Each structure stands twice: as structure tokens, then as C-alpha cells.
Amino acid sequence: MSAPLTIGRMLTAHARLKPHRIGARDLERALTFKEWNDRANKLANALLGLGLRKGDRVAVLAYNCVEWAEIYGAAAKSGIVAVPINFRLVGPEIRYIVEDADASALIVQDVLAHEIEAIRDGLSIPAGNFVHFGQAAAPAGYRGYEDLIAAASDAEPSDQPGPDDAWTLMYTSGTTGNPKGAIRGHRGMSMLALMTEVELGIHGRDDALLVMPMCHANSLNFFSAFVYVGATITIFSRKSFDPELCLRIFGEMGATFTSLVPTHYGMMLEVPTSQRERFRFDRVDKLMISSAPARAETKRAVMEMFPNSGLFELYGSTEAGWVTMLHPHEQFDKLGTVGREVVGSAPILLLDDDGNEVPDGQPGELFSCGPYSFDGYWRQPEKTREAFRGDYCTVGDVALRDEDGYIRLIDRKKNIIITGGENVYPTEIEAVLAGHPSLRDVAVIGLPDLKWGERVHAVVVPRDGATIDPGALIDWCKPHLAGYKRPRSVMIAAADDLPRTATGKVQHRLLRQRIIDKGEGG
């Protein structure tokens, strides 16, 4: 009988074939494939020993660290479903996810234990199933993570999951209402790993630096792909992004790949040349940029800093996995697009509100169909039905396709501004404003307006030392935007004033609500 292909079984295979090679590490400690496999087995058996069974959920709250590799591995070997929680959330938000997932256990890092302590009394998790790890000793009422591992067997769990079983339950950002749990199964993750290998040409000699949060789909998806090929995975175990440290890791630890948002690349480019020149980046051969539009000058500067690397651009989602890819040779020929369908996917559909396909050049809601789409929203059949049209799924993004089949993202359907009866897409305006030499960042939202219904409002972050004249900035848009698209008001803000998701995306609806609640925005 053939064994289903899962991350757990691939980890077992690499532990046998290359036991002494570094498999997973953070900036504090490293595990060979054999050590990683043994610890994943022990953790799997320890969780089963707490009474969990295949299909039960274990919630995880932690910053980036090598324990994520052990936890995801243990879940893949036991059939227990990992529920990663965004470490930026606070008590009530954490409580909602833990309770909605009906978690049977919770693993928390010591530096985040205070968030759990504030809500622990109201959680339905059994008293003995709170697990604690880190430098600090486990507080009363918690089991020590290392104690559990030390006492457990390193034998492979006997009842491992099949391809149709769930592996993760990952909650969406929840910018409107409560977040939804997206179910990802082993079959889909196996196919996504395969497609990533084909698109990027990754192999077992790679060393993937995972900077994005391990609680997020971006890092989880790349984690899976590099585990499959038996590459080394380096987890950026810092609470916040340190651009100089990231450059040093490339230069000294031999990383060959990373996936970052444009803001991260911009921060690395701001590191003084004298400091950058201390490091060699010869091994870096694949870079990914995603989650937000990148300027042409940013892309050129990144390619100059990493001369041996190809720069890829990606569009995807927690639910759909990878949707499109823009390859290195296409970066400037198709600037502003996110490429075409990832290999193995069906042609993208762009549909109007009546479900009809729109012609090229016209905006429509994007539906994708790949062999690795999510299995549905946890306990939300109505939301699941809304997300699918047959085998095609959507997260509400609006896009258009050019005559060569390249996809240009316009905006999220929920972010559309309707002003004077016209639909305005904030991303289009943000792309224009991003070209202003005095702006570091920008977000465009719609604010209530008695005359127009909504008015276009720009929140801008100046570059250091720059002075912004709101009226002059609006005038600067005139050659680039139709009158109804140009901002009618401008707010100058600090970078920290823009609320973001874990991957750096601006949360437009949250920003809008904050401005309305404070009575700002003119």
C-alpha cells in the first residue's frame, strides 16, 4: 500500500537520507534533519498523550522561531490540525480564534504568555493542555514544552494523516468582522509544494530564509515547498524586521532565497552602502516580492544589490495558495502586473457582478482554480459557498487582464470607493502617488461625503526631511488621474499610523474606521 505524501513523511525521508544536514534553524539554534524528525515525532506523541486525536486542533501563539518547524512537523505526523495565531493579536481576538477553532490544546511562547493569562480562565481548553516554551520557566498551570518532548517516544506515530485530512486551520486577517478559518489539507499543500518547485526551480541545496511570520500563509507555503525538496530552512527569529541583520544572514549564513514585501526591500536598500559592502551575496539566486505593488526603481535596486538573483513577483492568498507569478525576465516588460497563472492552474476568470466574464482590459472579480485551493471555511458553509463558483475560488480581489494574459490587480472588492456614482480603485491612485519623490508610503480610502457619497482621501507618509503641501500633491495628480479619481483631501501621517496585517498590507477598512471615529480627515 502506498503512503500518502505529506510534510511529515517527507521529513521522515530526509531524516533517513541526509540525517546530518541542517534541516531547520533559527538565529539561536539549529536542528539536523534527524534531530528535527525525532523532536517532531516526540511532540506528536506527546500531544496524542494529552488526549488529542487526529482532527483535533492545537492553537499556537509564538514569534518566529524554530519551534514552528517542530510544531508543523508534529501536526503533519499525528493528524492534529495546527491553528497558527497572529502574534499581533490581543486577548479578545485570540480568544475568538481559540474558541471558534474549538482548540483542544494551546502552545504559547514565554514572551506572549501574558496574552493567554489574561483570557485563560474563560477558555474551554482542558486545564492540563496549556503548553509553554521559551527561556522563562513555565508558569503554574502550564506544561513545559521541553518536558513533554523529553518524556515522549521518538517513534513515528502509527496513525498518520491521509491526503484528504486537514493540516492547518489558518485564520484570515479579519479586517471586517470576525476572521474566518481557512482549512488547508495535506493533498493541497503537497501540490502547492510541487508547483513552487516547478515555478522557482528550488532544490535540496537551497537555504530558504523565512522572514514573514510563520503564522502566515506566505511562510507556511514556502516552508512546505522547501521541506519537500530537503532544503535547509532558516527562520528569522526576531520580533521585528532588522534590515542590516537580514543582509548579514544572506552574507554569512548562505541563504539562497527569501520572500519579502516591498517595504522590507526598501529598508534594506536604505542601509548605507558602506555597511552593505561588508557582505557578499553570491549565493542568493531567487528572491520573491509580494503583498503590495513595488516601484520599478525598487526592483532595479534590489537586482543591483543581489546581482546573481532572479526577482519573482507573486500574487496569492491564504485560501487560493499561489495564483499568479511574474518571472525575472518579465519584470519590466510587464511592470505593474503580477504575471500569469501559476503552472498547473486553470485559466483565471474575471467576472462581473452577474457572473459573466469581462473582456480584456475591463475590471472583474478574480476567480482562480488550482489543485491546491483551500478546503473551505471552518464551520461556515455559507461563506464557503460564497467563495466558490464550482472549482474556482475568490477572495474578492478585482483585477484586469491585458491582451497577453497578464493580470493587473486593481483592488479588493470591499475597498472600492463609490464617489458620485463612479467606482474608484484605491490601488490605482496609490500607484500614482507612490511615484511622488517626497512620499515614503500612501494609503487611499473613501470617507463619507454629503455631496459625493464618498470622497477620495489620501493618507501619506513623507520621506525623512520632506515637506508635503496637500494642495500641491492633489495638483500633482492631475496629469495622471481623472478628476473623480484624484484625492479631494490629504492627511499627513507617520508610518506607524497605517494599520497593517502580518505581511505588511495596509488594512484600509480599519484605517478608514479609525479616521472616522477620531473625526479626522477634514
- The DSSP-derived string for 13-24 is HHHHHSTTSEEE
Q: Which residues pair with 60 in a beta bridge?
A: 84, 107
318 phi, psi to nearest 5 deg = -55, -40
B/e letters for 479-512, b = 16+ CB within 10 Å, e = fewer, are eebeebbbbbbbbebeeeebbbbbbbbbbbebbb
Contacts of 226 (CB under 8 A, 6+ apart): 202, 206, 208, 232, 233, 257
- Residues in a beta bridge with 259: 288
pLDDT at 383: 92
Give pLDDT, residue 496: 87
Terminal-to-terminal C-alpha distance of the chain: 68
Considering the domain 345-414 in this protein, what is its CATH number? Answer: 2.30.38.10
Within 13 Å of residue 95, how many CA atoms lie on the same side as its CB? Answer: 13
Please state the domain extents for the chain. 33-181, 345-414, 416-518
Give pLDDT, residue 176.
Answer: 46
Cα distance between residue 479 and residue 257, in whole Å: 39
- Please state which CATH number belongs to domain 33-181: 3.40.50.12780
Contact 468, 424 (CB under 8 A): no
Distance, CA of 73 to CA of 7 (rounded, Å): 7
Q: Which residues contact 495 (CB under 8 A, 6 or more apart)?
A: 440, 441, 461
C-alpha cell at 181: 478559518
Dist. CA 153–CA 151, nearest whole Å: 7
Indicate if 416-518 has the same CATH topology as 345-414.
no
Architecture of domain 416-518: 2-Layer Sandwich (3.30)
Q: How far apart are CA 23 and CA 28, in angstroms?
A: 14
* Cα–Cα nearest to 334, from 293, 302, 369: 293
Q: What's the rounded Cα separation, in Å, for the pair 273 and 271?
A: 6
Q: Which of 109, 115, 113, 112 is nearest to 94 (CA)?
A: 115
Beta-carbon contacts of residue 430 (< 8 Å; ≥ 6 apart): 293, 442, 443, 444
208: Cβ contacts below 8 Å, ≥ 6 apart: 202, 222, 223, 226, 231, 232, 233, 234, 255, 256, 257, 258
User: Which residue in 176, 179, 269 sits closest to 217, CA to CA?
Assistant: 179
The partner residues of 326 in beta bridges, in order of sequence, read 313
234-250: string of b/e by CB count within 10 Å (b at 16+)?
Answer: bbbbeeebbbbebbebb
| 384 contact partners, CB below 8 Å, separation of at least 6 | 376, 377
CB contact at 8 A, 15 and 37 = yes
pLDDT at residue 399, rounded to an integer:
94
Kind plus residue range of the DSSP H or E element containing 315: strand 310-317
Per-residue pLDDT of the chain in tens (522 residues, 90 and over written 9):
456 689 999 999 999 999 999 999 999 999 999 999 999 999 999 999 999 999 999 999 999 999 999 999 999 999 999 999 988 888 888 999 999 999 999 999 999 999 999 999 989 999 999 999 999 988 899 999 999 999 999 999 999 999 999 999 999 864 445 789 999 999 999 999 999 999 999 999 999 999 999 999 999 999 999 999 999 999 999 988 999 999 999 999 999 999 998 878 988 999 999 999 999 999 999 999 987 778 888 899 999 999 999 999 999 999 999 999 999 999 999 988 999 999 999 999 999 989 999 999 999 999 999 999 999 999 999 999 999 999 999 998 999 999 999 999 887 777 878 787 677 878 888 988 988 999 999 999 999 887 777 899 999 999 999 999 999 999 999 888 878 889 999 999 998 899 987 667 788 888 988 998 888 766
Q: What is the DSSP string of 379-444?
A: T-HHHHHHHEETTEE--SEEEEE-TTS-EEEEEEGGG-EEETTEEE-HHHHHHHHTTSTTEEEEEE
**277, burial (CB in 10 Å: exposed 0-12, middle 13-18, buried 19+):** exposed
- pLDDT score, position 174: 47
Radius of gyration of the chain (CA): 23
Hey, what's the cell of 27? 538565529
pLDDT value at position 177? 56
**pLDDT tens digits for range 311-358:** 999 999 999 999 999 999 999 999 889 999 999 999 999 999 899 999
Instruction: Give backbone dihedrals phi and psi of 144, rounded to 5 degrees, phi first.
Output: -80, 130
Indicate the DSSP class of residue 506: B
Give the helix/strand (H/E) hosting 458: strand 453-462
